[in-house]
Amino acid sequence: MPPKYFFHHLLSTIFLIVCLLPVSVFGQNRSVTIHLRGVAESNISLLPMSGPKQFKPVVELKAVKNGETATLVVPAEYLPGEFVLRFDYKEKPESTPYPSEKYILIGYQAIELWVHPMYANNPDSTRFQANEKENAAFARFSEENVRQKQKIGLLQQFLMDYDQPESTFYRQGILEYENRRQAYNHWINQKINEDSSLFASVLYRFSYLPKVNFSGDERERLLSLIDHYFDGIRFNDPIMIRTAQMNDWMNAYVNLHGQMATTVALRDSLIPAAAYKAIEKAKAGHPLVYGWMVDYFYRGFEANDIPSGMKVLEPYLSDPACLTTKRMEIERRLKGMETLKTGTKAPEIQLTDSENHPFLLSRFKTDAQTIILVFWSADCSHCQSTINELYPWSLKDANRKKVAVVAISLDETDTEIMAWDRKIISLEGWKHLRAAEGINSKVANDYFILATPVMLVVDALTLEIRAMPSTFSEMLTFFP
């Protein structure tokens, strides 16, 4: 694309994003006023449950004393939303800080809370101001929702367990369940309309009950549930992407497909198909929801190493209405799939090893026939699992002669680097490298690393890539 047309396209995209963002993004900050009592002092922080700073503090106050009133000012860009209000309190001045957390909603109203951190979720000890709306409405809905679902749950259990599905009694049960399901969904819609001015009402919709074909077998029931899963959802409402419940709701959708996957190959077929259906549904709604859906499946495909899923996402990258935040990452992964594959030569690695010696992969000398490249991070739990399996295996006498391991750390922060320094002491015999720029380093770019761990099996003589296993178990298949 010529530069001037690219620039025009970029301006158009920015204009589209600004026009389509929820009004609240450009609205007012909101205050959360805390009246602290019952403890000597507490640090107070607020963590959003969705968005780019998920579960990271967006505002913090230090050492608020017993009896003091403190105010957290929440930036408008995070509103409305679901939050965790965290207290790291000291019961006595000499006590070690202890955490407690309270789930809250913040919408278009300032919030005032009287809090005893030790009993943060006890309404007798922690309460909102008398006219607070969001959390009061959600509490009323949640309490009534339990009662509404109780009888439906009993009917559902009966329909799933009953051993004579051809009987008249069972058919009557199906009719009764369907009547109650429709009545329940009608109640959901009523509550949404009653509280339509509140952010809380967006959360109600995730309780909607899809239709299930109970007259079929287990597979037919599952397929009908999948077919009707999106029936009660309004994809034209951009506020829904500000909820943590949407992520949980989509996880449940993907898990329905996972229940039918008896093999990894079948999983890698079913989940991309699920992604296509979900994205096409979202595509007909708001561009922000459409983009969120693409982002959601990108994260899942990346975390679970499903290349076929990445290919499903490719067509949406050229759609200006798709406001994905992961466009560059998806394009990078697709490029990596085309250029970095078995049979191609491993890109050069030029770094300094843990003993401050220069390292070039092309000049790495080893008696082993195979090099295993491992990209990892010391604070990554999946990496730790892979390393803890790979290391003892690599020490076995038979394997020492077969493989040499080069471990490339993508740790960047001081805390991560300290963890890496400690960890490699117990990984003697491996060649340890660290890319100072982490995921943005040249070596990570050359190998298209977007998440860790990543393993490559490389011919030690030719540096040809023999395999790119996604797990330790898969790697073992290349070493009979």
Q: What is the pLDDT of residues 101-137, one digit of tens each?
A: 999 999 989 999 999 999 999 988 899 999 999 999 9
- For residue 38, is pLDDT > 60? yes
pTM greater than the 0.75 cutoff: no
Average pLDDT over residues 42-55: 91
Average pLDDT, the chain: 89
pLDDT of residue 27: 61
Domain boundaries, the chain: 23-130, 147-337, 350-476
pLDDT of residue 216: 84
Contact (CB, 8 A) for 34 and 110: no
Contact (CB, 8 A) for 420 and 434: yes
CB half-sphere exposure, 416, CA atoms < 13 A: 18
Dig out the tokens for 63 from the structure.
Answer: 């050492």
CA distance linking residue 377 with residue 410, whole number of Å: 5
CA distance linking residue 140 with residue 445, whole number of Å: 50
- For residue 221, is pLDDT > 60? yes
Assign 345 a pLDDT band (cuts: 50, 70, 90): very high
CA angle 288, 292, 293 (to 5 degrees): 120
Model confidence over 170-211: pLDDT tens digits? 999 999 999 999 999 999 999 999 999 999 999 999 999 999
Average pLDDT over residues 239-260: 93
Q: CATH classification of 350-476, choosing from 3.40.50.10540, 3.30.360.10, 3.40.30.10, 3.40.50.2300?
A: 3.40.30.10
Length of the chain: 480
CA distance linking residue 352 with residue 348, whole number of Å: 13
CATH topology (fold) of 23-130: Immunoglobulin-like (2.60.40)
Closest CA to 296 of 334, 358, 346, 250: 250
Distance of CA 429 to the CA centre of its chain: 35
329-349 burial code (b ≥16 CB/10 A, e <16): bbeebbebeeebeeeeebbeb
pLDDT of residue 132: 96
Dig out the tokens for 270 from the structure.
Answer: 């079913």
Closest CA to 463 of 367, 394, 372: 372
pLDDT of residue 21: 45
CA distance linking residue 105 with residue 242, whole number of Å: 11
According to DSSP, residue 79 is labeled -
Residues in contact with 284: Cβ distance below 8 Å, sequence separation at least 6, in sequence order: 235
- Taking each continuous run of H as one helix and of E as one strand, the counts in the chain are 15, 15
- For residue 268, is pLDDT > 90? no
- List, in sequence order, every beta strand (DSSP E) within 301-419: 350-352, 358-360, 370-376, 403-409
Residue 473 class from Cβ within 10 Å (0-12 exposed, 13-18 middle, 19+ buried)?
exposed
Model confidence over 415-451: pLDDT tens digits? 889 999 999 999 999 999 999 888 888 898 888 887 7
Upstream peptide bond of 99 is cis (omega within 30 degrees of 0)? no
In degrees and rounded to multiples of 5, residue 82 shows phi and psi of -95, 140
Give 462 or 439, the one with higher predicted confidence.
462
Dig out the tokens for 109 from the structure.
Answer: 């109203």
| DSSP β-bridge partners for residue 73 | 31
Which stretch of DSSP H or E encloses residue 101? strand 98-106
Contact (CB, 8 A) for 256 and 222: yes
Residue type (1 letter), 341: K
